[in-house]
Amino acid sequence: MFYPLLALLPRRFTRYDSATISKSNNAFTGDTIRGAMKPFSKIACIGEVMIEIVSQQTGDATLNVAGDSYNTAVYLAQLARGSDCTVSYVTALGQDTFSQRVVGHMKHFGIDTAHIERRADRNIGLYAIDTDSTGERSFTYWRSESAARTLFSTPCTVGLDVLGQFDLAYLSGITLAILPAPVRSSLIDALAAYRRNGGLVAYDSNHRPRLWENAQTAIDVNNAMWTVTDIAVPSVDDEMAIHGDTTEDAVLARLDAAGLTDGALKRGPAGPFDLTRSTSGITFTPATEVVDTTAAGDSFNAGYLFERARGSGQAAALQAGHDLAARVIGHKGAIIEI
């Protein structure tokens, strides 16, 4: 079943002139729309998609497809069905059987697969989830030689110039963490140029400490990334983990100092904090049943960004993101049909 909102979608989406996109005058502020309208229909999600192996109590295992930015792409694509909006996933895969299955998974959900690097000498990354008798989960990863780590590395058929084909580029801290340092820097520079040419950048600082060279590199790269971000969608937990903040107020003060005045700070059951400070009195109802929180933040990002893309105000976008996340965590697994 799809969201009933789909029937209400306009036939065109909107974005803003590059002149309105800056740290002092972000593209979107609250429920007020500024700047000249342009079609906003092309979204790129950039990152790594993996094969998920889930152990069962019977001793068997099931295979799923998941990954933080990929989860967001799947939910964006489902929300966009029936509209002019297209969602592309930009990544690198191998030429193995599992990689081909992932391409089929993308097509099933309506994700554009035209911008995927295929590496003959690399395979898709894997990770396994084991759950003990108390329900506690543990993860084992095989991703150090994954194809996604070669994204944008030369030689390549999908280069950084691919950004120019999209109106909005979405990526995460995991996207940056898996890339070699020179490629990571080039990507941030390319995003800066992309914004100067009118593109929008949305970023979630999703944090996996083991993926970074060291803690200071994670801090430095995230600080650099925030300077080229229009719409920030971090979680308070990740921001605390990266920077050592001990309170939500400390996180907000640091984000303010970085010039991040648009987006949402995810706070789990408490609901998102409006970084635009343009809304008040919104009540976010916690999920009635929590089964699996794996894709809570990823699905929030999809619901929130889709509403922003279709021209909804900040209040509606915050509510849409929260409601979608609450729905997703009521089911097992990162990806569900909506």
- Cα 11–231–64 angle (5° rounding)? 75
Phi, psi dihedrals of residue 196, rounded to the nearest 5°: -60, -25
* Residue 253 in tokens: 């003060």
126, 140 Cβ separation under 8 angstroms: no
List, by residue number, the catalytic residues.
298
Which residues in 238-266 are b (16+ Cβ under 10 Å) and which e? bbbbbbebeeeeebbeebeebebbbbbbb
CA atoms within 13 A on the CB side of 224: 18
In terms of Cα–Cα distance, which of 260, 179, 169 is closest to 218?
Answer: 179
Which residues in 313-326 are b (16+ Cβ under 10 Å) and which e? bbbbbbbbbbbbbb
Orientation angle between helical segments 296-309 and 314-328, nearest 10 degrees: 150
From the number of C-beta atoms within 10 Å of its C-beta (0-12, 13-18, 19+), residue 85 rates as buried
